[in-house]
Chains A and B, each alone.
Chain A
Amino acid sequence: MQIIQPHYHAIARTAQDYERMAMSGVVAVAEPAFWAGFDRLYPETFLDYFRQISEFEPTRAAEYGIKHYCWVAVNPKEAENPELSREVLKHMPEFYEKPTVLGVGEIGFHKTTKNEEEIFEAQVEQAIKYDQLILIHTPHLQDKVRGTKRTLEVLSHMNVNPERVWIDHVEEHTIREPLEAGYWVGFTLYPVTKCSPKRAVDMLEMYGHERILVNSSADWGPSDPFTLQQCVVQFRARGYSVQDAIEIFHNNPARFLGQNPKFDIKPIQLETIEDEISSNLV
């Protein structure tokens, strides 16, 4: 079955991940800009990082037949330094010209501070100005509700098209509001923190399949890219068809990311042999 991994930090993973993902049906990954594990000191460090994810990673992924796309941004943790963030923002439009850059992300809140909010707004404004997709990180653990509510408040005062905004890392207590406001939402599957594959399938059953993305967000921390495939197995084990699974794990990311024409993987529909025979007869 073909799968798109819409949130994947390839820079932190080995080529073996690409190989195993390819063997399990992954046809494309999208890599949001991320925190390196320490706060970067220089704007140029960010620019080299953007080059790595927009120039080097596509070639590494291509060796395994996987298409690699990316996003650029100052992530929420480093947005605590507005001066540095604004310097980086000045250069981000250069990357929107690159053939695999899909938008601005991940941005948003980590501790929901005033500095984070200032840079979050600045990046949303830039995304609107340059007609870029937007990917929003919501905080971890006990800060998630507060940060998600503030995210929605900030966005409500800005001229964003909710259909072009993906609010990520939602869980049972934060999914409803963004979904009802018309945004796309994402479940991030982690071995211990955030959401589990079973709980993700629960939410799919409760909230339907529209405007929902599922990803494993594999990064340099305790994480596993194959939580996404575990979720596919959980979904299928509950009796849903292969086409139902394709709608969620391939077609939904193709629909959201495909709003940027650079992402050229289209939704797919399984055809039965009977369908094929009858279409040949017509």
Chain B
Amino acid sequence: MMQTALQVLDREYLEARCSLLEIAAALDRIDRASDEEESNDFNDSRLDLLNQAIALLTEKSHLPNRSERMLLLFSDLD
């Protein structure tokens, strides 16, 4: 029998919380390191991808396949 949404959330909440905190800390780390550089305009296409992926998580979309869409975002499709 499939788990209920509540059962899934009970099981996944702490791990998802942990993953989000790690992402926040990684972005803070990049910010701090770029602040220490002479020019504060550090940019990198991978950072853009990360920001797009984070935006994908916050979309009010009914599409359930976030992980698939995120992997496509990180894929070289040309």
Contact = CB atoms under 8 A, between A and B. Distances in A.
Contact of B22 (A193, A199, A206): A199
Interface of B: 14-15, 18, 21-22, 25-26, 28-29, 32
Interface of A: 172, 192-193, 196, 198-199, 202, 205-206
A198 B26 CA distance: 9
Q: Which 7 A-B residue pairs are closest in the complex by CB-CB distance?
A: A192-B18, A199-B25, A192-B14, A192-B15, A202-B25, A193-B14, A202-B29
A192 B13 CA distance: 10
B36 to A, nearest CB: 11
Contacts of A205: 32
Contacts of A199: 21-22, 25
Nearest to A195: B21
Contacts of B15: 192
A135 to B, nearest CB: 25
Nearest to A203: B25
A280 B21 CA distance: 52
A196 B32 CA distance: 18
A173 to B, nearest CB: 11
A196 B29 contact: no
In this complex, which of B22, B25, B26, B28 has the most chain A Cβ atoms within 10 angstroms of its Cβ?
B25
B59 to A, nearest CB: 26
Nearest to A206: B32
Contacts of B18: 192-193, 196
B22 A196 contact: yes
A198 B14 contact: no
Nearest to A199: B25
A163 B18 CA distance: 31
Nearest to B15: A192
Contacts of B29: 198, 202
A206 B36 CA distance: 13
Contacts of B32: 205-206
A199 B25 CA distance: 7
A198 B28 contact: no
Given A172-B25, A192-B14, A193-B14, 17 more contacts: A192-B15, A192-B18, A193-B18, A196-B18, A196-B21, A196-B22, A198-B22, A198-B25, A198-B26, A198-B29, A199-B21, A199-B22, A199-B25, A202-B25, A202-B28, A205-B32, A206-B32
